[in-house]
Amino acid sequence: MTEENKPQVVVIGGGTGMPVLLRGLKDLPVNLTAIVTVADDGGSTGRLRSEMDIPAPGDIRNVIAALSDAEPMLVDLFQHRFAVGNGLSGHSMGNLLLAAMTSITGDFNNGIKEISRVLNVKGKIYPISNDNMSLHAEMEDGTIVSGESNIPLSKKRIKRVFLRPQPVKPLPNAIRAIKAADLVVIAPGSLYTSILPTLIMPEIDQAISSSKGKVVYVCNVMTQEGETTGYTASEHVEAITSHIGQGTVDAIVVHNEPIRKKVRAVYAEENAEPVLYDTDRLRQIGLQIIEGDIIDHSKSTIRHHTEKVSKLLYSIIKKNS
């Protein structure tokens, strides 16, 4: 299969869930594009944002590592985080390299492109924007919480999230990739602070609704305190569609096996529980339900299984081709 004939797959999101999907998809016969949030403001990322006035590099760094075919030692170096207690305290080497390359090239996206070339990245990586932006949330009680890292700490039910300053400009290449995609995947992750910041960018919602491909949301397996406490699967989807429009999501991927009691107990300490898959409601809102055992049972924490999910997503493409 030539490069031109390979299906175009776009994955949108950030956080820990996105790299898991990308590691599996990069080994399949697809042309892969990752469109990544830059709204993070915590830790090393937050310090570099404020000191150098650049978009958040942390989620981009993890995606580069996931898609890299470089020597493992080089990837380990890229992901290295310096110990607390010195001048580089808490910084990640990859974040520093992205900041440096942005300074050299004069452009965040160009910096990503150059580091991707050095690390032999399979696929394309686009930040959702070249702009430095901040995330804000309006809670159901009307209060406004500012800053991605502060939103879950309020532990209030979220009504909506929005970006400032406006107008924030999306990357044109990201818009084009979505419109041309055979499959658009909304990755699992922190719903309001990792996933929605990419989807609520101006023009992104229109690009998703006008994409020629199917739009699939890979649902979280566990709820998250301060963001999705008590949320069912349909409420995850409804949070997305309330921000970007009804009918924009075509299908949902869900895990359909029980979570081990021991693992549930660990998450219960963080006020997290398995997401209830309310299949009747999902069908009522017009979603195709794609279900299976899609978590990695070898882990002590809940993670989607890289190969299982990527093969399942690839089967969707084959059915539609």
The pLDDT confidence band at residue 92, using thresholds 50, 70 and 90, is: confident
CA pseudo-torsion sign 25, 58, 171, 74: negative
Q: Is 181 helix (H, G, I), strand (E, B) or coil?
A: coil
| DSSP character string of 24-83 | HHTTSSSEEEEEE-----SHHHHHHHHHH-----HHHHHHHHHHB-S-HHHHHHHH-BPP
pLDDT digits (tens, 9 = 90+) for 16-51: 899 999 999 999 999 999 999 988 877 777 777 777
Residues of the chain with CATH 3.40.50.10680: 8-37+129-320
The pLDDT confidence band at residue 1, using thresholds 50, 70 and 90, is: low
| Distance separating the N- and C-terminal Cα atoms of the chain | 14
Does residue 54 have a pLDDT over 90? no
pLDDT digits (tens, 9 = 90+) for 244-258: 999 999 999 999 999
Candidate CATH numbers 3.40.50.10680, 3.30.70.120, 3.30.2020.10, 3.40.50.300; the one for domain 8-37+129-320: 3.40.50.10680
Does residue 84 have a pLDDT over 90? no
pLDDT at 134: 87
C-alpha span between 312 and 289 (Å, rounded): 12
Does residue 139 have a pLDDT over 70? yes
C-alpha span between 313 and 302 (Å, rounded): 19
Q: Which residue has the higher pLDDT, 162 or 85?
A: 162
Written as one letter, the residue type at 221 is V
Q: Which residue has the higher pLDDT, 51 or 13?
A: 13
pLDDT at 321: 64
- Average pLDDT of the residues of the chain: 91
Percent of the chain with pLDDT over 90: 74
Task: Give pTM, 2 decimals.
Answer: 0.94
| Cβ contact 20:304 at 8 Å | yes
